[in-house]
Structure 1
Amino acid sequence: MLRIPGTKVIDRYSSPLGLIDVVKSAITPLRHAPGLSLNATTEPPEQLAVFTDADNMTAIDRYDGNPETLSYLDQTTSALPYHLHSLQNILILGAGTGSDILQAHYHAVPRIDAVELNPQVIDLVEKKYADFAGHIYQHPHVNLHIGEARGFVATSDERYDLINISLLDAFGASAAGLYALSESYLYTEQALQADLQHLSPGGYLSITRWIKMPPRDTLKLLATVVNACKALKIKDPQQRIVLIRSWQTSTLLVKNGPFSDQEIDNLKQFSSERSFDLAYYPGITVEEVNRFNILPQPYFYQAAKALLGADGEAFIKNYKFNIEPATDDRPYFFHFFKWKTLPEIVPLLGQGGMSLLESGYLLLIAALLQALLASLVLIALPLVLGKDRLGIKSGTQGYRQVVVYFVCLGLAFFFIEIAFIQKFILILHHPIYAVTAVLCTFLVSAGGGSLFSKRLCGNRAKSMIRWPVAGIALFSAIYILGFESLTGFLLELSGSSRLVFSILLIAPLGFFMGMPFPMAMDSLGQTAPTLIPWAWGINGCASVISAILATLIAMQFGFTVLVFLALLLYVVAAFNFP
Structure 2
Amino acid sequence: MDSWAGGVFESPRVSAHIAEARRFIASSDHRWDQINLNLLQTSPAAGQGRSHVDARVLTVEAIQDYLNHLQPHGVLTVIQNSTELASRTHAAILAANGNRDDSILSFQLSEPTNPFSHLLIARNEAFTNAEVERLRSIATDCDAVIATYPSLANPATDDRPFIFEPSKRIAIHALLAALLALLILMVILARERHTPGNPLSVTAGVLIGIASTALQVLVIYRLQTALGSPALSMGIGLAAVLGGSGLGALFFGHFATAKFWPQCSMSAATGVAVFVLFSPVLAEYCDTMNHTLAFITMGFFTVLTCLPIGLPFLAAIHSCKSISGHVEGLIIGCDGLGSILGATGATALAMTAGFSMVGWTIVIGFVGVSVFRPQHDQSPG
TM-score, normalised via structure 2 length: 0.90
Question: CA separation of 1:528/1:364 partners in 2, compared to 1, >3 Å: closer, same or farther?
Answer: farther
Note the residue ranges of structure 1 that are not aligned, 5 or more in a row.
1-59, 63-97, 103-133, 231-235, 280-299, 308-315, 318-323, 338-357
- Show the counterpart of 1:517: 313
State the Cα distance separating 1:474 from its structure 2 match.
Answer: 3.1
Would you say 1:434 and 2:241 are equivalent positions? no
The residue correspondences of 1:12-31 to structure 2 (distance < 5 A) are none
CA distance in structure 2 between the partners assigned to 1:526 and 1:415 by the alignment: 31
CA distance in structure 2 between the partners assigned to 1:475 and 1:374 by the alignment: 27
Identify which of 451, 458, 476 aligns with 2:272.
476
State the Cα distance separating 1:374 from its structure 2 match.
Answer: 5.1
Would you say 1:573 and 2:375 are equivalent positions? no
- Show the counterpart of 2:76: 205
Would you say 1:137 and 2:9 are equivalent positions? yes
Q: Secondary structure at the match of 1:143?
A: coil
Identify which of 205, 216, 233 aligns with 2:84.
216
Q: Secondary structure at the match of 2:155?
A: coil
- Show the counterpart of 1:504: 300
Amino acid at match of 2:307: F
1:372-420 Cα deviation digits (max 9, x unpaired): 325524x5425634x4xxxx736x3x12210111111010111111111
Amino acid at match of 1:447: G
CA distance in structure 2 between the partners assigned to 1:516 and 1:368 by the alignment: 27
- Show the counterpart of 1:418: 217
Amino acid at match of 1:259: F
Assess if the C-alpha contact under 8 Å between 2:265 and 2:369 holds in 1: no
Amino acid at match of 1:206: T
Would you say 1:393 and 2:161 are equivalent positions? no
- Show the counterpart of 2:248: 449
The structure whose residues are more often helix, as a share, is 2
The structure whose residues are more often strand, as a share, is 1
- Show the counterpart of 1:331: 161
Would you say 1:162 and 2:25 are equivalent positions? no
Assess if the C-alpha contact under 8 Å between 1:216 and 1:336 holds in 2: no
Assess if the C-alpha contact under 8 Å between 1:171 and 1:210 holds in 2: no
Amino acid at match of 1:366: H
Question: CA separation of 1:365/1:481 partners in 2, compared to 1, >3 Å: closer, same or farther?
Answer: farther
Would you say 1:492 and 2:288 are equivalent positions? yes
Identify which of 370, 386, 390 aligns with 2:177.
370
CA distance in structure 2 between the partners assigned to 1:567 and 1:517 by the alignment: 15
- Show the counterpart of 2:352: 556
Q: Secondary structure at the match of 1:244?
A: strand
State the Cα distance separating 1:495 from its structure 2 match.
Answer: 0.9
Q: Secondary structure at the match of 2:319?
A: helix
Assess if the C-alpha contact under 8 Å between 1:244 and 1:252 holds in 2: yes
Assess if the C-alpha contact under 8 Å between 2:271 and 2:307 holds in 1: no
Assess if the C-alpha contact under 8 Å between 1:200 and 1:256 holds in 2: no
- Show the counterpart of 1:150: 22
State the Cα distance separating 1:541 from its structure 2 match.
Answer: 0.8
- Show the counterpart of 2:128: 260
Would you say 1:403 and 2:202 are equivalent positions? yes
State the Cα distance separating 1:261 from its structure 2 match.
Answer: 3.7
Question: CA separation of 1:275/1:417 partners in 2, compared to 1, >3 Å: closer, same or farther?
Answer: same
Amino acid at match of 1:414: T
1:135-160 Cα deviation digits (max 9, x unpaired): x5353111121111111111111111
State the Cα distance separating 1:528 from its structure 2 match.
Answer: 4.3
The answer to which structure, 1 or 2, has the higher relative contact order (CA under 8 A, 6+ apart) is: 2
TM-score, normalised via structure 1 length: 0.60
Amino acid at match of 1:326: A
Assess if the C-alpha contact under 8 Å between 1:368 and 1:545 holds in 2: no
CA distance in structure 2 between the partners assigned to 1:238 and 1:326 by the alignment: 18
Amino acid at match of 1:221: T
Percentage identity across paired residues of the two chains: 25
State the Cα distance separating 1:222 from its structure 2 match.
Answer: 1.2
State the Cα distance separating 1:455 from its structure 2 match.
Answer: 1.6
Amino acid at match of 1:429: G
Note the residue ranges of structure 2 that are not aligned, 5 or more in a row.
375-381
Assess if the C-alpha contact under 8 Å between 2:276 and 2:356 holds in 1: yes
CA distance in structure 1 between the partners assigned to 2:89 and 2:279 by the alignment: 23
Amino acid at match of 1:384: A
Higher Cα radius of gyration: 1
- Show the counterpart of 1:239: 102
Give the paired residue count.
369
Question: CA separation of 1:544/1:456 partners in 2, compared to 1, >3 Å: closer, same or farther?
Answer: same
